[in-house]
Chains A and B, each alone.
Chain A
Amino acid sequence: MIIEGKQKIWADYQKEIPDDHYFYVRSCIRQSFFPASEVVFLDITRNKLGKDFFENPYHTTCGGIAYHSDAIPQETAMTIIARQFALMHESGYENYVCSCITSFGCYTETLETWREFPELEAKIRQFLWDSCRKELVKPKYLAHASDIIYKFRNEIAAKAMFRLVEAKTGRPLRVVEHIGCHYAKMFPSKGVGGAEYPYVLAGMIEAWGGEVIDYPERRQCCGFGFRQYFVQANRGYSLSNTYKKFESMEPYKPDFIITNCPGCPYFLDRWQYVVAEQTGKTYGENGFGIPVLTYEEVAGLVFGYNPWDLGLQLHQVAVEPLLDKMGIPYDPAMKYKGVNGKELGTPAAPQNIRFK
């Protein structure tokens, strides 16, 4: 590996990311999968970094799931997106940031399509007016939320309570970074670091003290793929994709995986249980799996948030081995206690993958 070669590409694929004043839109599914990630993002940006991130309660899905599942035509998805942009303008913002990678891909694709085909933009503008009586004003700037954390990675590092190192030995943690396919594979210039060697998560890992792992199946999809998972008959493809990735990363002994997509952490996390149940194989140490975290969860750990406030108890793969390595204190008795000590219930222990 010639790191200077990657650094040159990273230097070529840097994008301008405005400092402040963003209109924030959520993902449809992340609040179910990783319930604290978006809350933590807003808490970090607003309260730790002192930035202005505004949410309009009337915003909706971007339509991406329906679009990519062929349930709605592109014009419908574009009209939904146009409405989101109109809400941004009505709220007094021009920088648009989304939580979801699929949304980021849809927004990017829509803006690029309108640039190439202005007549289509005019048609959507009319659809928006006819259906919602709203005026389309495109964002001046479009970001994915991981771009924001990347931009402020050094400020976060400066305020960090914990670093991505093994507390006892000082060894940098070995981290697999997994980028959502829709981040830069379609439009490489729109992602930090481009499509082939993205830097958006690698930059966070480096800034927070970890070591980035590059392994042969790094670029491979996590396996979510709308048509792979939503079509039940195709789920074997989804599982085999994830299995392929874990087989490929196993020799590098990763301490954890960081992701920036709604589907990736979910599937990389849950399918480890399925692989273990089907084959008896686990990829972490001592019968555990490899913890899979969103970048907001990792930023939260670095900042010193309580792991259970970050929702890490809802992961399939136990995160305790990672917390122990980083020297992060936690109360095992509180793992399945909700707000005000409410009992959430303890999941049944899987047969082949250690849970505690």
Chain B
Amino acid sequence: MLDDMNKVVIKGGGAAGLRAASRLKRNGIDTVVIERESTLGGHLAQWDRLFPDGQKAKDVLDRLLSDINGVEVMTNHTITEIQRENDIFKIKLDDNTVIQADAVLDTTGFDIFKAEKKQEYGYGIYDRVITNAELESFFKTGSDRRIDNPKKIGFVHCVGSRDIKVGNTYCSKVCCATALKQACEMREAFPESEVYTFYMDLRMFGKGYEDLYLKAQQDYGVKCVRGRVSEVAEAKDGRLVIKAEDTLLGKPLKMTLDLLVLMCGMERKDGFIATKNGFVEQNITDEKGIFVAGTAIQPMTLPETIANADAAVLDIVEFLKRRK
């Protein structure tokens, strides 16, 4: 049996943190979620619809939020220090509050790759180059002055992912499917538009992803070009002139676009958090009592993040039981 005094602090109130909080609560464990932003939900709260089937992100988030009813949540707070005294963690917040806990779960997730680092794409220099997150915001709000009835739209995959030049050699896992989802949405929003995606290879590994790929081409007329965009420039009228290589045709390609969307991947300022074993101890760190879940470990899709949070909770429960 678990002691009533058991307490877990979750650092980060995104999808992984919310899911873990609800599962810890179900197990009768006192849980506090510390979130640095004013609202919960992390990147999920910024997204409009989810691949592969276009489910509303808000519906998923609302479900995660309803599951944490009764869990203590502290928004607008950051953890400044974690000290261990014997088996108890003393977690100090930015307002000098100190919380005592038996375990800490890090679900601080990822940062979206800063598109301006890929200077050849001209983000922050050419007005009509935007990011996947900004396009998602457009879908949510219907407003972005840069998106003015575009007739020709391009998507660039793998921006900041699988790219040794920026130091990110890994795949961010979500960009391929997101690009095709967003490409379909742009065709819905602007039926007169032509949409091109520029990819290295499409990694449509999950349930329904391959169907999305086929649907994008067959039903939405999205044109998938295997090749990376090498440079972006601005024409006199503000449109974008891109150069790429179509590696299937073996030819260079130049195209003028009204909008270019960069599929920025995941990264963390100090790198992803290492766990003890990538197979059988995926959520356990070398620091006893400190666990990690979700995209703080590595890029994950949303279903993987939620499953990973569940797995972390099992490890925490086992850890607390074993201490008795």
Binding site for B on A (CB under 8 A): 1-2, 4-6, 8-9, 194-197, 214-219, 251-252
- Using known A-B contacts A6-B125, A8-B124, A251-B236, determine if residue A197 contacts B231 with beta carbons closer than 8 Å: no
Contact, CB under 8 Å: A5 / B241: no
Contact, CB under 8 Å: B125 / A1: yes
- Using known A-B contacts A196-B119, A196-B120, A197-B119, determine if residue A215 contacts B233 with beta carbons closer than 8 Å: yes
In the assembled complex, the CB of B123 is this many whole angstroms from the nearest CB of chain A, namely 8
Contact, CB under 8 Å: B241 / A216: yes
Contact, CB under 8 Å: A2 / B125: yes
- In this complex, the interface size class of chain B, counting residues with CB under 8 Å from chain A, is 10 to 19
Say yes or no: is B235 at the interface (Cβ < 8 Å to chain A): yes
- Using known A-B contacts A216-B241, A219-B231, A251-B236, determine if residue A2 contacts B120 with beta carbons closer than 8 Å: no
Contact, CB under 8 Å: B233 / A214: yes
B105-148 interface code vs A (CB 8 A; 1 in, 0 out) = 00000000000100110111111000000000000000000000
* A-B pair number, CB within 8 angstroms: 42
Contact, CB under 8 Å: A216 / B125: no
For residue B125, which residue of chain A has the nearest CB? A5
Residues of A contacting B67 in the complex (Cβ-Cβ under 8 angstroms): none
Residues of B contacting A251 in the complex (Cβ-Cβ under 8 angstroms): 236
Contact, CB under 8 Å: B127 / A2: yes
Bound complex: CA A8 to CA B124 (Å) = 10
Say yes or no: is B234 at the interface (Cβ < 8 Å to chain A): yes
Residues of B contacting A4 in the complex (Cβ-Cβ under 8 angstroms): 124
Bound complex: CA A195 to CA B231 (Å) = 12
Contact, CB under 8 Å: A5 / B233: no
Question: Which of A1, A5, A194 interacts with B116 by CB under 8 Å?
Answer: A5
Bound complex: CA A239 to CA B122 (Å) = 28
Bound complex: CA A197 to CA B119 (Å) = 8
In the assembled complex, the CB of A198 is this many whole angstroms from the nearest CB of chain B, namely 11
Residues of A contacting B126 in the complex (Cβ-Cβ under 8 angstroms): 1-2
In the assembled complex, the CB of B242 is this many whole angstroms from the nearest CB of chain A, namely 9
Residues of B contacting A195 in the complex (Cβ-Cβ under 8 angstroms): 119
Residues of A contacting B123 in the complex (Cβ-Cβ under 8 angstroms): 5
Residues of A contacting B127 in the complex (Cβ-Cβ under 8 angstroms): 1-2
Among A214, A216, A217, A252, chain B packs the most CB atoms within 10 A around the CB of A216
Bound complex: CA A292 to CA B122 (Å) = 27
Bound complex: CA A9 to CA B114 (Å) = 14
| 9 further contact pairs, Cβ within 8 A, besides A5-B124, A252-B236 | A2-B125, A2-B126, A2-B127, A196-B120, A214-B233, A214-B234, A216-B234, A217-B233, A251-B236
Residues of A contacting B241 in the complex (Cβ-Cβ under 8 angstroms): 216
For residue A195, which residue of chain B has the nearest CB? B119
Residues of A contacting B124 in the complex (Cβ-Cβ under 8 angstroms): 2, 4-5, 8
Residues of B contacting A197 in the complex (Cβ-Cβ under 8 angstroms): 119, 125
Residues of B contacting A214 in the complex (Cβ-Cβ under 8 angstroms): 233-234
Bound complex: CA A252 to CA B235 (Å) = 10
In the assembled complex, the CB of A301 is this many whole angstroms from the nearest CB of chain B, namely 28
Bound complex: CA A209 to CA B125 (Å) = 22
Contact, CB under 8 Å: B233 / A216: yes
